[in-house]
Amino acid sequence: MSTTQFPPVFDGHNDTVLSLTRSGRSFFKRSDKGHIDLPRSQEGGLGGGFFAVYIADPSPPQQEGQRLSAEQVLSRYSDESTWPEPMSLEFAQSRALSLLGALIRLEEESRGTAKIVRTAAEIQECMDNGTFAILLHFEGAEPLDTAGDALEVFYAAGVRSLGITHSRRNTFATGVPFKFPSSPDTGAGLTDVGKELVRQCNRRKLMLDLSHITEKGFWDVAAITDAPLVATHSNAHVLSETPRNLTDKQLDAVKESRGMVGLNFHVGFLRSDGKADSDTPLSVMADHLERLVEKTGIDCVGLGSDYDGAMMPDELKDAAGLPKLMSEIQSRGYSDDDMRKIAHGNWVRVLRETWGE
């Protein structure tokens, strides 16, 4: 079921819960702030996606009490030397409980219009019947202890996907800084507890997300995991040389594992000059998508917007603008079947293979 001429989109990444808690806006009312709410999703044919639980660092002392602008945040993580000290486990766990609780409440408050999804079959059902699908995802393992206890609780509560690190360092791994141009080979790989975390996720059948991790970390995961390799919101490095994007070699590994890449809509990861300039044409997005399909095949590419966490191209604007992107993609000659795969079919496929149901 779709509200547009295109198949419904299941999206690989958003920071909507952070946007909701910060702005105070409701998920159920149309807003002009941020990118996703239920009315704009319905208008644009967005049927659900990975909802990230990302734990923001406490503000630096000199800016305490005021919110950092997007540019200030990006610059804070642009170089390892300005990264904040890793946050405490207690702080991260407390914040994670609050954000997850807010997401679970969305389901309750939705009166059946939104659902926390735990299986690939549930996602497909949502795409078919129009229920909005919320997949609980951690962007950074800061809320997890090294004994693996908290992961058990979060899994039981419905978390099904984990990015080991954001663009910073934690107990388990290191992420890439936001600098341009740069190879993703910017730092250390997984720590020993990070390797153990990969094994635990495999046992528990949690999806591991490789967006944000360093190249060494990527290869460490690739060597250990028995699941397909997935980067939920990353683009083609050959077209935009940010360390957040994937090199051809990485894309080959994704293909070989029958993994998945979700196209990131952030202009800074799309543009060849790496600039945060929203005056970026949709054709650049289609260029990346084509490149990803060329490298990994039509079964391994989807969307990973980064809505509510990044700067969108002006033409796209927000979730309501999705049909413009779908139209641009379709103009490159993709069939209806291809469009369905890109919109959500590939996510359902890779999650079924990862979760086993």
Stretch that binds another protein, among 38-46, 142-150, 161-169, 216-224 (CB under 8 A): 142-150
Say how many residues touch another protein, by CB under 8 A. 27
Q: Closer CB to another protein, residue 158 or residue 281?
A: 158
* Residue window 100-139: x/- pattern of binding to another protein, with contact defined by CB under 8 A: xxx-xx--x-------x-----------------------
**Cα separations in angstroms, 135 against 79, 116, 130, 195:** 31, 6, 15, 24
Closest CB 182 distance from another protein, rounded Å: 35
Closest CB 203 distance from another protein, rounded Å: 9
Closest CB 284 distance from another protein, rounded Å: 39
Q: Closer CB to another protein, residue 93 or residue 225?
A: 93
Task: Kindly give, in sequence order, each residue whose CB lies less than 8 Å from that of residue 227, ignoring residues fewer than 6 positions away.
Answer: 201, 202, 205, 207, 208, 257, 353, 354
Tokens of 190: 């997984």
Q: What is the DSSP letter of 14?
A: E
Angle, CA of 311, 246 and 232, to the nearest 5°? 60
Site membership for another protein, residue 148 (CB under 8 A): yes
Closest CB 53 distance from another protein, rounded Å: 10
Per CB under 8 A, the list member of 79, 109, 152, 256 interacting with another protein is: 152
Closest CB 97 distance from another protein, rounded Å: 4
Q: Provide the pairing of β-strand 132-139 with 114-116.
A: parallel
What's the rounded Cα separation, in Å, for the pair 291 and 166?
25
Per CB under 8 A, the list member of 6, 10, 27, 154 interacting with another protein is: 154
Nearest to 280 by CA among 266, 263, 267, 264: 267
**Residue corresponding to tokens 């989807």:** 302
Q: Closer CB to another protein, residue 144 or residue 351?
A: 144
What's the rounded Cα separation, in Å, for the pair 97 and 202?
23
DSSP per-residue string spanning 97-161 = HHHHHHHHHHHHHTTTSEEE--SHHHHHHHHHH-PEEEEEEEESSTT--TTSHHHHHHHHTTEEE
Closest CB 21 distance from another protein, rounded Å: 10
Per CB under 8 A, the list member of 58, 71, 72, 147 interacting with another protein is: 147
* Residue window 62-101: x/- pattern of binding to another protein, with contact defined by CB under 8 A: ---------------------------xxx-xx--xxxxx
Task: Kindly give, in sequence order, each residue whose CB lies less than 8 Å from that of residue 300, ignoring residues fewer than 6 positions away.
Answer: 254, 255, 258, 259, 260, 261, 292, 346, 350
Closest CB 102 distance from another protein, rounded Å: 6
Q: Closer CB to another protein, residue 19 or residue 186?
A: 19
Site membership for another protein, residue 56 (CB under 8 A): no
DSSP per-residue string spanning 30-55 = --SSSS--HHHHHHHTEEEEEEEE--
Site membership for another protein, residue 151 (CB under 8 A): yes
Q: Which residues bind another protein (CB under 8 A)?
A: 89-91, 93-94, 97-102, 104-105, 108, 116, 145, 147-154, 156-158
